[in-house]
Amino acid sequence: MADSKLAIVVLAAGQGTRMKSSTPKLLHKLAGVTVVSHVLATARSLEAAHVVAVVRHERDRLVEVIEVDLPEAVIVDQDDVPGTGRAVELALQAIPSGFAGEVLVLNGDVPLLDADTLTVMINRHRSGDAVATLMTTSLDDPSGYGRIVRGADGALEAIVEHQDADATVLAIAEVNAGIYLFSVAALRDSVSQLTTDNSQSEKYITDVVAILRASGSDVAAHEIAHAWKVEGINDRAQLATAAARLNALIVRGWQLEGVTVIDPATTWIDLQVQLAPDVEVRPGTQLLGATVVATGAVIGPETTLVDCEVGAGATVKRTDATLAVIGTNASVGPFSYLRPGTYLGDDGKIGTFVETKNARIGVGSKVPHLSYVGDATIGEASNIGAGTIFANYDGVTKNSTNIGSHVRSGSHNVFVAPVSIGDGAYTGAGAVIRKDVPAGSMALSVAPQRNMDGWVEKNRPGSPAADAAADKAADA
Ligand code: UD1
Ligand code: CA
């Protein structure tokens, strides 16, 4: 149910210079989801009456994501005045003047904070007298964060940014998490008093604390024990740390749902992935994107699946697959490369050193060894001989190959597309198939073998081969 007393502001206008990237900081991903999407999902689940997202740097790319993840958000463009305080000041203009509740401000770069933790803070704020409550935590290495300065009585006095802090303040371990809840009237009054009088020449939202305290208002600190929940993403080292933390949570979550994960340390599972009970994930495996795995399937070791669907009881070993569908009890790998548009039917097999692309392989059909299958359909219960190439590209256009059911193709064939093989047909070893093969036929395209007697003796006299042949002749 919507919380009519809650408004949320998501700060997403910063430049993210420490990331040193052409991709905006907030669009880097962890667990397959952008940094800001994690925050937007949390914001959405709180069902606030008003949601505002502030953008500026790469605004169009951010807006595209916000419109998908949090469509109810009002987009506000930050102007030339920099800083989180300016962002909040402008966001407030998008919140109706009649709104009388609290404004929750979320830094867009704090992705691991969950809605339950926020709800505890919101409830605490509502049951107390403070006009603002901010989330804090203590860090072993507080560098970069704003420090929480408390008075002798322990009451919150101010937040001092790292860049503006002296040695005494730098030694404070308690930091500002960048998550704040303000009574809207107090926030409106205080943001109008912010200045850019600091080392970064920005309006800091954090200065609101000292402004409110100077006016005699009470500001509460909601300290949380799990610091990792509020770690900000400013550079790639922090991104990797947060991604590993989130991954550990995801892996554990699936383990508790009945998935065997043999080595959590080398297993990466994206947020969107769905796994059934009794799936087994072996070491060195990445399950990415919208991958779905049905019960009893064994994935890995050393396998990467991106946006794949794996049927019950299938095995997928040492494989790289994207946008592929693998049927029930099918077998893939070791060392297979499944590219987009691969469909492997139930009980089918894609074996060792086989590459497939845009290929439908029917129920019970097998491509066991050393082959390329591109732009093809294969019917049911057919077997493709070792070392077969589906030559789909003539240098100008891509063409397709159609193989029927119960076909047995010989080793080392080339199917030169477009070409069709009828049901139950055979092809001989080494055949280059350029013409359609009717159902039930045997196609041979290789010239009959000729043995030239005595060729070695005549052409390689005195060689070990010639000597070996001569010995054999003497024995006979
Ligand atoms: C901020 C806090 C700091 C806190 C830390 C927690 C301020 C001044 N400092 O520092 O006290 O410990 O977060 O992670 O707020 N943004 C805008 N407009 C801007 C600048 C930033 O919308 O003009 C957004 C950014 O996109 C980001 C968030 O605000 O999502 C925080 O900005 P960032 O520059 O990362 O602040 P920090 O230096 O980390
Ligand atoms: Ca930050």
Give the distance (Å) from ligand 1 centre to CA of residue 249. 26
Determine phi and psi for 206, rounding to 5 degrees. Answer: -65, -25
Please give all residues whose beta carbon lies within 6 A of any atom in ligand 1, as ranges.
11-14, 54, 78, 82-84, 86-87, 107-110, 145-146, 159, 161, 175-178, 204-206, 232, 234
- What confidence category does residue 1 fall into, taking pLDDT thresholds of 50, 70 and 90? confident
Residue nearest to atom 29 of ligand 1 (CA): 11
Reply yes or no: is the peptide bond before residue 301 cis, omega within 30 of 0: yes
pLDDT confidence of residue 446? 85
pLDDT single digits (tens) 104-142: 999 999 999 999 999 999 999 999 999 999 999 999 999
CATH of 3-230, one of 1.10.4080.10, 3.90.550.10, 3.30.930.10, 3.40.50.300: 3.90.550.10
CA 465 from centre of chain: 59
Q: Which two tokens stand for residue 348?
A: 């089918």
Nearest-5° angle of CA 237, CA 239, CA 245?
105
One-letter amino acid for residue 134 of the chain: L
At residue 437, the 3 state secondary structure works out as: strand
The residue ranges of DSSP E strands in 69-226, in sequence order, are 74-77, 102-107, 132-138, 147-150, 156-160, 174-183, 219-223
Longest dimension (CA), the chain: 115
Give the distance (Å) from ligand 2 centre to CA of residue 235. 9
Taking CA atoms, 99 is separated from 88, 118, 193, 200, 440, in Å, by 16, 20, 21, 32, 78
Across the chain, what does the average pLDDT equal?
97
Q: Which of 5, 62, 16, 17 minimizes the C-alpha distance to 39?
A: 62
Instruction: Just give the CATH number of 259-443.
Output: 2.160.10.10
pLDDT single digits (tens) 233-275: 999 999 999 999 999 999 999 999 999 999 999 999 999 999 9
Residue 168 has pLDDT above 80, yes or no: yes
pLDDT single digits (tens) 457-468: 999 999 999 999
Catalytic residue among 57, 369, 406, 412: 369
pLDDT confidence of residue 311? 99
Residue 25 has pLDDT above 90, yes or no: yes
Residue nearest to atom 35 of ligand 1 (CA): 234
Instruction: Give the whole-angstrom CA distance, residue 380 versus residue 346.
Output: 10
With tokens 């080595």, the residue in question is: 263
Residue 75 has pLDDT above 80, yes or no: yes
At residue 224, the 3 state secondary structure works out as: coil
Catalytic residue list contains 369? yes
**Share above pLDDT 90 across residues of the chain, in percent, rounded to a whole number:** 97
For the chain, the distance separating the N- and C-terminal CA atoms, rounded to the nearest angstrom, is 96
Count of C-beta atoms within a 10 Å radius of residue 20: 9
| DSSP codes joined into one string, 230-285 | G----SHHHHHHHHHHHHHHHHHHHHHTT-EES-GGG-EE-TT-EE-TT-EE-SS-
Instruction: Give the burial string for 151-180 (b: 16+ CB within 10 Å, else e).
Output: eeeeebbbbbbeebbeeebeebebbbbbbb
Q: For helices 115-126 and 35-45, what crossing angle results, to 10°?
A: 50
Q: Where are the domains of the chain?
A: 3-230, 259-443
CB-facing half-sphere around the CA of 180: CA atoms within 13 A: 28
At residue 375, the 3 state secondary structure works out as: strand
Which of 54, 65, 84, 224 has most ligand 1 atoms within 8 Å of its beta carbon, as the pocket-test mutant? 84
Instruction: Give the whole-angstrom CA distance, residue 415 versus residue 404.
Output: 13
pTM exceeds 0.75 for this model:
yes
pLDDT confidence of residue 149? 97
Q: Which two tokens stand for residue 4?
A: 């009519």
Count of C-beta atoms within a 10 Å radius of residue 84: 26
Q: Which of 389, 351, 390, 378 minimizes the C-alpha distance to 367?
A: 351
Residue nearest to atom 14 of ligand 1 (CA): 232
Residue 358 has pLDDT above 80, yes or no: yes
